[in-house]
Chain A
Amino acid sequence: MEMYILLGFVLLLSIFLGLELISKVPSTLHTPLMSGANAISGIALVGALMLSSAGQMQDILAFGAILFASINVFGGYLVTNRMLSMFKKK
């Protein structure tokens, strides 16, 4: 239980940190920011890699989680990068 309280602490601090970091972003960057944040939510890939393997069902679930998280990670970062490369000042 102590572990959970500690991690809950990490959770709350991260949320506050996130709110502070993003509150003043110019609207030009709203889309890349959202897309970049979307790529970060692919961190679920780390969670998928931690799953245990016991039987066929678990293997299928793990494969699905890894597959979809990978699409999220690769697609998210590449789209964000493509978008940002278009923003330039003349």
Chain B
Amino acid sequence: MENLANIQVIQNIVYIISSVMFILGIKMLGKEATAVKGNYLSALAMFSAVAVTCLSLEIDIKIILAGVLLGGLIGSLIAIKVKMTAIPEMVALFNGFGGLATFLIAWSQFNEPGNSMFQHVLIMLTIYIGGITFSGSLIAYGKLSEKLKLGKGSIITNIFISFFYLSMPALIYVIAEPSISDFIPQVPSYFSAFLVLTLVAGIGFVMPIGGGDMPVVISLLNSLSGIAAAFAGLLLLNNVLIVAGSLVGASGLILTIIMAKAMNRTITNILFVGYASSSQTTSSEEQGEVKPITSDDAYLILENASSVLVVPGYGMAVAQAQHVVREMGELLEENGTEVKYGIHPVAGRMPGHMNVLLAEANVSYDLLAEPDDVNPSMDTIDVAIVIGANDVVNPSATEEEGSPIYGMPIIEVHNAKTVFVLKRSMSSGFAGVQNPLFFRENTRMLFGDAKESIGQIVAEFKD
């Protein structure tokens, strides 16, 4: 018995050390110079916490080895094989698995006899948050990888949404069940029904949210998986779970707020309203004519430009154009042109999506600028090249008060001397808002696949 007590002391000491390493690790992850080391430190913290937990096990070691080895193999394979453009959906998927793990932990605890009232509440909350994180992340994965096309407005989506709203009173019922079961007729299989309902509710939670709002959803789901882990920690009376889980919950929350601010919208508006219902106020006045341009002419203008700003969006990710974009940037620099990249915080499908893509293509990160850095000097830019971005460069956000995106901070490319917009067609962005930028006097549209269009410009430079 004394031996067991000693083990617990050792475990708790190591848990405290791991917690400190997690805290330092996440702090270092937030600075460019120390990010890699921060990730290693956090991995070391994870390893120590897991290793010391193995000193006292009740589960058969074979089950543990099988689970860890198989899970490690699957996780590593996905992580190594995945293309960098598929990162948003991978993060969503891993996150979902974390949520599922806490869901199963709480389920297992429910099956144990002798839970106190407080433990019962924690079990239900953990199941609810973990379950919603899991199925919500799977839906986010489906949407990001474009396997799932269902969106707002379809009947199936509406059915799932109803289940989401139904799940909230259901949560209150299951929490209160032990204390009120003497007064109301008991539902024998209420727990199984609740397990299924949380999973269905997660689907209804994420399904109506549009692609352009995905950066917010991903951050929020990330935050939820941390909160679920922290609740599981309270349930199991384990301090390292609480500390690590809360850190993730808090960091996810901050990212969610940053993303929502970058769209000038509140989180509730993104989650429960969406653009569709607010876009009726859009003015539909005649916008004028668009002026197309060919790659040849674009090349001639670029050759004489002394400063160029590249503004990428999700379209660059779809066209996989980041490598030719980098090549064009280098050729322009050799030609004596100053090249910068203007990155909007919500461009793409997850926080920092464009930064990752350009980093993959070897663009030096000191060339990447945020909207506040480039907007004041926009009128000195000769050519702004918009690649597959739309809402983040829409001047309606600053000029047209009735517009649904009015007030959203944008990259004000319309103030540049010339704007090239690379686009497949004239369709509008996720917000469903027409973009007056395309009809501006100083705008030239370069229609077609971004990778091909830029490839042609690169070829001209090389001749």
Contacts and interface: CB of A to CB of B under 8 A. Distances in A.
Contacts of B72: 70-71, 73-74
A3 B12 CA distance: 14
B91 A34 contact: yes
Interface in B316-366: 343, 345, 350-353, 355-356, 359-360, 362, 364-366
Interface in A14-34: 14-19, 21-34
Contact of B58 (A36, A52, A69, A84): A52
Nearest to A36: B29
Contacts, number: 368
Contact of B102 (A16, A36, A44): A44
B442 interface: no
A7 B218 contact: no
B391 to A, nearest CB: 17
A87 B359 contact: yes
Contact of B71 (A19, A34, A71, A88): A71
* Dominant secondary structure of chain A at its interface with chain B: helix
Interface in A55-75: 57-59, 61-75
Nearest to B76: A74
Contacts of A11: 230, 233-234, 242, 246
A74 B49 CA distance: 14
Interface in B232-248: 232-234, 236-248
B89 to A, nearest CB: 11
Contacts of B252: 34, 37
B351 A30 contact: yes
A81 B362 CA distance: 16
Interface in B16-32: 22-23, 25-27, 29-32
Contact of B242 (A14, A58, A70, A74): A14
B100 interface: yes
Contacts of A84: 35-36, 39
Contacts of A82: 79-80, 84
B307 interface: no
Interface size class of A (residues with CB under 8 A): 35 or more
A86 B363 CA distance: 9
Among A23, A54, A62, the most chain B Cβ lie within 10 Å of the Cβ of: A62
Interface in B377-424: none
B460 interface: no
A42 to B, nearest CB: 5
Nearest to B361: A86
A61 B104 contact: yes
Nearest to A21: B27
A35 B66 CA distance: 25
30 contacts: A7-B239, A7-B242, A10-B239, A17-B246, A18-B246, A18-B251, A27-B345, A28-B368, A32-B35, A33-B30, A34-B222, A36-B29, A38-B98, A40-B26, A42-B46, A43-B46, A44-B241, A48-B105, A49-B54, A50-B58, A53-B58, A61-B108, A62-B63, A65-B108, A71-B74, A71-B94, A75-B74, A75-B94, A76-B75, A87-B35
